[in-house]
Amino acid sequence: MIRKVFVANRGEIALRIIRACKELNIPVVIGYSEGDKFSLPVFLADERVCIGPSNPKDSYLNIPSIVSAIEITGADAVHPGYGFLSENVQFVEICNSVGIIFIGPTPDNIRQMGDKSLAKKIAKKAGVPVIPGYEENNFKMALYHAKKIGFPIMIKAVSGGGGRGMRKVYTKEEFEKMWYTCQEEAKIAFGEGSLYIEKFIERPRHIEIQVLCDNKGNVYVFPERDCSIQRRHQKLIEESPSPFVDKCLRKRLQRYAKKLVKTIKYRNAGTIEFLVDQNKRPYFIEMNTRIQVEHPVTECVTGIDLVKSQIRIANNEKLDFTQGDIKINYHSIECRINAEDPENNFLPSPGRIKKLILPSGPGIRIDTHIYEGYFVSPYYDSLIMKLITFGRTRLEAIERMKRALDEIVIDGIKTTIPFYKKIFSNPIFLSGRYYVGFVDKLVSESFQKEEIYG
């Protein structure tokens, strides 16, 4: 039985976990960096302990410091949120070895799915379709298979994420240059430079399936999330259900997701991600072995609390719903509000928030850790808020998002709110005919015409 949860994260996800623990009547302690001393999660946790300086490598990525803090505070479980140590096998193994319950998957689960090349091999064996490619980290053989598959192809880092260590290659002549560029980028970002290649699919949709797996072998699959609105491989807007996915495709994706997680005996929350071509043929690309940034969309659609479910699974409890209870009750859309300047190539915009007015009313949810007077640090990810709307139809969710974007005021820093207003007035987005690469094309064309903010 979990007696006290340690939150090994910061920002809005730390606050989300704290709220889930409070609703479950579980005491919660947060480990914070010196730079987060005055953050909302630190104020609202039952206990708090400083784990190091502002730099993440000295605090949120400092395994000895975090494990010591867990033990000192008497916590017997840790929730890693997303990012930082959430998919760090070493951290999970250390927690397991000293009797700390890790609220997430097993080390084997993370190891199998964390290596994207190995994950594709496992998916193939499970009968889940994958994009044609070559999974070995061998330059000569990768080039051979690239020519065999046909350009364009994608070079990707095995340990990649967030668009780093990833390049599209159109010809064999540029293959070598891009290969070594990706390799160096991956070494810097992830500590190792292993690469693999796969066929580039023109104008795909990025569709993902949320799963929850308990300790008794039960798998719960949720309606899809469409994450195709991206900029430089970073998700911006997510919605559920997808305007592109029909009932037949939804069932196929859920069936593939279930086969994959059963193959690896997965535990806790996870997300299986697919690229779907224009003919609605799905291809597995990766699995994220953690809670996702965009989990509120699924919660708004189904009414099921995913974070509380994570804690219940880790506590070896029975979930309070069945597969039959997981239904599409609403349409939901999420915008990731970042402290970035869209007029200046989306450069980070740290600083103090001088004025903050948040939208409210029917069908609006806000997940954020900021407040008036809060200082947005340059040390961390630029995500400051998740603005989520939901309604009976996609149109109602969109109209509520437009209203929310008009109502919100964040003064003192630059944010991506003006950029989202443009997307929500774009006819291609409104029609639901968008695709991966749509936003990059929109930005490029609009800047050329000086139309985005003029």
Mark whether 361 and 388 lie in a shared domain. yes
CATH number at 41 reads: 3.40.50.20
Whole-angstrom CA distances from 250 to 225, 234, 244, 274, 391 are 10, 24, 10, 12, 20
- List the domain range (segments joined by +) for residue 38: 5-103
CATH number at 143 reads: 3.30.1490.20
Residues above pLDDT 70, as percent of the chain: 97
d(CA 232, CA 162): 8
pLDDT of residue 446: 60
Q: Which residue, chain included where needed, has tokens 């139809």?
A: 393
CATH number at 337 reads: 3.30.470.20
The amino acid sitting at 291 is I
448 pLDDT above the threshold of 60: no
The domain boundary, picked from 199, 222, 242, lies at 199
Q: Is 225 helix (H, G, I), strand (E, B) or coil?
A: strand
pLDDT of residue 192: 87
Catalytic site includes residue 392: no
- Residue 162: pLDDT band with limits 50, 70, 90: low
57 pLDDT above the threshold of 90: yes
The domain boundary, picked from 84, 103, 122, lies at 103
113 within domain boundaries: no
- Residue 249: pLDDT band with limits 50, 70, 90: very high
Average pLDDT over residues 359-368: 98
Mark whether 193 and 248 lie in a shared domain. no
The domain boundary, picked from 160, 176, 199, lies at 199
222 within domain boundaries: yes
For residue 418 the two structure tokens come to 């003006």
Mark whether 399 and 445 lie in a shared domain. yes
pLDDT of residue 452: 43
243 within domain boundaries: yes
pLDDT of residue 451: 46
Average pLDDT over residues 210-230: 97
d(CA 64, CA 94): 9
d(CA 85, CA 122): 24
Mark whether 350 and 381 lie in a shared domain. yes
pLDDT single digits (tens) 105-131: 999 999 999 988 899 999 999 999 999
Query: Which residues 6+ apart lie within 8 Å of 314 measured at CB?
Result: 2, 77, 101, 102, 103, 104, 268
Mark whether 165 and 262 lie in a shared domain. no
232 pLDDT above the threshold of 90: no
Mark whether 136 and 96 lie in a shared domain. no
- Residue 355: pLDDT band with limits 50, 70, 90: very high
d(CA 140, CA 129): 25
pLDDT of residue 369: 97
Average pLDDT over residues 146-164: 86
Average pLDDT over residues 431-438: 95
Query: Which residues 6+ apart lie within 8 Å of 39 measured at CB?
Result: 10, 11, 14, 32, 369, 374
326 within domain boundaries: yes
Average pLDDT over residues 164-179: 92
What is the edge-to-edge ordering of all strands in the sheet holding 153-161?
133-134, 195-199, 153-161, 164-169
pLDDT single digits (tens) 8-39: 999 999 999 999 999 999 999 999 999 999 99
Mark whether 224 and 322 lie in a shared domain. yes
- Residue 450: pLDDT band with limits 50, 70, 90: very low
User: Are the beta carbons of 333 and 398 closer than 8 angstroms?
Assistant: yes
Pairing of strands 268-276, 340-341: unpaired
Mark whether 32 and 146 lie in a shared domain. no
| pTM, full prediction | 0.90
Mark whether 274 and 193 lie in a shared domain. no
Mark whether 251 and 374 lie in a shared domain. yes
Domain count, the chain: 3
Average pLDDT over residues 196-211: 95
Range from 164-173, 220-229, 330-339 carrying the lowest mean pLDDT: 164-173
Residue 140's nearest CA partner among 192, 178, 176 is 176
pLDDT of residue 453: 39
Mark whether 271 and 305 lie in a shared domain. yes
Range from 33-47, 130-144, 328-342, 439-453 carrying the lowest mean pLDDT: 439-453
Q: How much is the mean pLDDT over the chain?
A: 95
454 pLDDT above the threshold of 50: no
- CA neighbours within 13 Å on the CB side: how many for 22? 13
119 within domain boundaries: no
117 within domain boundaries: no
Average pLDDT over residues 75-104: 97
pLDDT single digits (tens) 266-313: 999 999 999 999 999 999 999 999 999 999 999 999 999 999 999 999
Mark whether 187 and 251 lie in a shared domain. no
- Residue 158: pLDDT band with limits 50, 70, 90: confident
The amino acid sitting at 30 is I
420 within domain boundaries: yes
> Which residue among the candidates 225, 290, 312, 336 is catalytic per the annotation?
290
